[in-house]
Chains A and B, each alone.
Chain A
Amino acid sequence: MKAKFEEMAVVLSQKKIAADIYDLTIQTKDIAAHAKAGQFLSLYCKDGTKLLPRPISLCEIDRTKGTLRLVYRVTGENTGTEEFSRMAAGDTIRVLGPLGNGFALGEKKAFLIGGGIGIPPMLQLAKELNCEKTAVLGYRDEVFLLDDFKEVCSTVIATEDGSAGTKGNVIDAIKAHNLEADVIYACGPTPMLRALKAYAQENDMECYISMEERMACGIGACLACVCKTKEKDHHTNVHNKRICKEGPVFDAKEVEL
């Protein structure tokens, strides 16, 4: 039962959708058919001096066509993501996936919360969750993917500079709209995840968060990408779980942030 594939994917399209944010669609052979919301890919650079794969979440999955949509931020000059941003239709890129556990789909009334570059993976989840749901998206300033979310569920946003939606963060937006839910699914910067963990605890909600750490193998072998856990992990036999393997999605109660 092979579950992960290493492939040369073909770029179908790529466009810039906000400052430094790129929207890439690739054709895969087997990966898309096996992929779930919340999983990610390892993307390899062509530049041989950049050895390690870049982990990028799946933003949309089309299992019948075998295509994947990835939305990512270029982090600076001479980076791997900058190399990716120069790709155009017809180019190929080596990828490994699908990796990680992904979100478990529930039926309880849900918040789908994304912060910054943590927003993209919430889109596929929004499409798959078959329940009452509201997307809560937090941006610094420039808004992206908003129309995509509005097509699949009710969506509220917050911006740090107040240029759109509620001024402030995602919790400010929830409060401003008097929203309620039973479960939180979230991806974003650690301070946001920390705040949501506390918010969920105060309001007696379930909370599932997608975590980030620097990776090397991406498949659970090297122990680079661990996070601290409350209980001893079954595999590692210490209080560490591998984000690339047991994660990236964890029950917020299980992990230390």
Chain B
Amino acid sequence: MGDIKTSVNLCGVELKNPVMTASGTFGSGAEYCEFTDLSKLGAVVTKGVANIPWEGNPTPRVAEVYGGMLNAVGLQNPGIDVFCERDIPFLRQYDTKIIVNVCGKSTQDYLEVVERLSDEPVDMLEINISCPNVKEGGIAFGQDPKLVEAITSDIKKIAKQPVIMKLSPNVTDITEMARAAEAAGADCLSLINTLTGMKIDINRRSFVLANKTGGMSGPAIHPIAVRMVYQVAQAVKLPLIGMGGILTAEDAIEMILAGATAVSVGTANFIDPRATEKIIDGIKAYMRKYQVKDIKELIGAVR
């Protein structure tokens, strides 16, 4: 049965299937291409990149928690210049879309990266206004609708590629942030980033993470992510990229039924370096089983 259609359109960008990697869990793909054929992926979303190199947080940067993990990598990145010279040409070798995740400590930082990327062969920009692990910038932008609106419209003024605003779940009402981004001209929204958590080592009586707190990801956050994607899907007209705890094709389909046009797979890569490919195969198997001809029939199908 070769006639099932898995391609989706994200604000003008055609993905061969809805499965992409989640920023920060896949580097720029170089380490995973030994296990997964990057050309099979809908898109690769790269690790957050800033205008200049960032050293990130002290270690330990990760901790395992029941059904999930905490991370406080602190957006270590090589800076946009090295990224453009090395990572973009690497990814261009593959038949997949490139989505660059952008981070910053000030509006100016974000704008510098967006500007630098304007002539680069990348397909979309994902703006991380929701990282809980850096002291300034990041999440601060994502927790106040006025700031969301301001930074979205500033970026939209200069961006040459479609702009995805990545929302934080660490807010009282995520639909407020979604509406603010939509009002300011965002092309797409992605959600959710990690939920702020903490783990204490009772034997040492100290924090496991050097940063004390870290962002929680993995299967334990999946129901929260599904709920938030559903709520945002009801609140805005923009296409959504759903993520949070997707380990299997079933998890991905749940997210699509809740209203996501595409999905990002993060922590699952750490458990199985071929997770993304397996999820794509599983989605196709589900479509055959239920005779779904076009994946678009599933997007937001559960209301």
Contacts and interface: CB of A to CB of B under 8 A. Distances in A.
A65 to B, nearest CB: 25
Interface in B180-208: 203
Given A49-B66, A52-B62, A238-B78, A224 B71 contact: yes
Contacts of B269: 217, 221
Given A51-B64, A226-B61, A238-B78, A219 B31 contact: yes
Nearest to B66: A49
B267 A51 contact: yes
Interface in A213-247: 213-227, 235-240, 245
B302 interface: no
Nearest to A244: B31
B55 interface: yes
Interface residues of B, number: 39
B60 to A, nearest CB: 5
A111 interface: no
B55 A240 contact: yes
Given A6-B274, A49-B66, A223 B82 contact: no
B170 interface: no
Contact of A52 (B27, B32, B270, B273): B270
A44 interface: yes
A2 interface: yes
B132 interface: no
Most B-side CB within 10 Å, residue of A51, A235, A236: A51
B146 to A, nearest CB: 32
B67 interface: yes
A224 to B, nearest CB: 4
Interface string B53-79: 111100111111011110101001011
Interface string B35-53: 1000000000001000001
B218 interface: yes
A63 interface: no
Interface string B73-109: 1001011001000000000000000000000000000
A52 B64 contact: yes
Contact of A224 (B55, B62, B67, B218): B62
Given A51-B270, A96-B273, A222-B73, A214 B34 contact: no
Nearest to A220: B31
A235 B30 CA distance: 11
Nearest to B63: A214
Contacts of A19: none
Given A96-B273, A222-B73, A238 B64 contact: no
Contacts of A245: 31
Interface in A182-236: 213-227, 235-236
Contacts of A4: 34-35
B49 to A, nearest CB: 11
Contacts of B68: 51
Contacts of A53: 270-271
Contact of A51 (B54, B56, B59, B218): B218
Contact of A226 (B24, B56, B64): B56
> Main SS of chain A's interface residues?
loop
Nearest to B75: A223
Contacts of A50: 64
B25 interface: yes
Contacts of B67: 48-49, 51
Contacts of A215: 62
B26 interface: yes
Nearest to B203: A76
A235 B28 CA distance: 12
A240 B54 CA distance: 10
Contacts of B274: 6
A214 B76 CA distance: 16
Nearest to A224: B62
A3 B267 CA distance: 23
Nearest to A232: B53
24 contacts: A2-B34, A4-B34, A6-B274, A48-B219, A49-B66, A51-B69, A51-B218, A52-B64, A53-B271, A76-B203, A214-B59, A214-B60, A214-B62, A216-B270, A217-B269, A219-B31, A222-B270, A223-B61, A223-B76, A226-B61, A238-B53, A238-B56, A238-B78, A239-B55
Interface of A: 2-4, 6, 44, 48-53, 76, 96, 213-227, 235-240, 245
Given A51-B64, A51-B218, A223-B76, 16 more contacts: A4-B34, A4-B35, A6-B274, A49-B67, A51-B68, A51-B271, A52-B270, A214-B60, A214-B63, A216-B267, A217-B269, A221-B26, A222-B27, A222-B73, A237-B82, A238-B78
Nearest 10 Cβ contacts at the A-B interface: A237-B78, A221-B27, A221-B31, A224-B62, A214-B60, A220-B31, A216-B270, A219-B31, A238-B55, A224-B61
